[in-house]
Copies of this chain bind each other. A is one copy, B any other.
Amino acid sequence: MARGDIPGATGAKKGRPLSEKTEAAILEATAQLLAEKGLAHLTIEEVAARAGVGKASVYRRWPSKGTLAFDAFESDFLSRQPLPNTGDLRGDLLAALRAWVRTVRDTPIGRTLRGLIGEVQRDPALEGIWRERFMTPVRARHRALVDRAVARGTIPPGTDSDLVMDMLYGAAYHRLLQGHLPLNDQFVRVLVDAVVASIGAVEP
């Protein structure tokens, strides 16, 4: 986990507790600076200054720039990934992927996401956190769509939902990170069609 814990939850504590105000100020400053200059040019020094906080108060809570940025980023991103229910798999996947594309393409979140993934590549300490707190919940949410289709009986029960996720979001992340081709609606449609076709889906 990025931070220690919700204060008061773990038990024994002496002395003055961590101030929630300080924490909020840090996260707010981080979010601002993240949008303004990107993760690469974010510095703890500046976060502390902007938040009106000592650097130690930042390091007391987050061990690195990545973990801090991650916390500031997380909730924002997740809230933009809906769990659609259109009645059939193609529709659900289309809606989910479209929401993803809009988020990363049309908001500063895309840039931050790219920077964060970049950071994860260089800091092994971030890998676990990133997977646990970001990849796992997002994938779970998306996989639910596939599982629902299995339950409905419109796709075979043995469908490898991990593979489906990797084909869909792998392709999408690929275009986000490599930028070799546009992330547009045309791409989303043909991608979802191809993936649905590969499952051997029965038309409802």
Contact = CB atoms under 8 A, between A and B. Distances in A.
B181 A127 contact: no
Nearest to A180: B135
Does more than half of chain A's interface fall in helix, strand or loop, or is it mixed? helix
Contacts of A119: 118, 122
A174 interface: yes
Interface residues of A, number: 44
Contacts of A170: 166-167, 170-175
- What number of copies of this chain does the assembly contain? 4
A136 interface: yes
A178 B131 contact: yes
Contacts of A84: none
A127 B177 CA distance: 9
Nearest to A199: B194
A166 B160 contact: no
A57 interface: no
B38 A180 contact: no
A166 B139 contact: no
A139 to B, nearest CB: 7
26 contacts: A40-B121, A40-B122, A40-B123, A114-B121, A115-B121, A115-B122, A117-B118, A118-B118, A120-B177, A131-B178, A131-B180, A162-B181, A163-B187, A163-B190, A163-B191, A166-B174, A166-B181, A167-B167, A167-B170, A170-B172, A170-B173, A170-B174, A173-B174, A194-B198, A195-B198, A197-B197
Interface of A: 38-40, 114-115, 117-123, 127, 130-131, 135-136, 139, 160, 162-163, 166-167, 169-175, 177-181, 187, 190-191, 194-195, 197-200
Given A121-B177, A173-B173, 8 more contacts: A40-B121, A118-B118, A163-B187, A166-B171, A166-B174, A171-B171, A194-B198, A197-B197
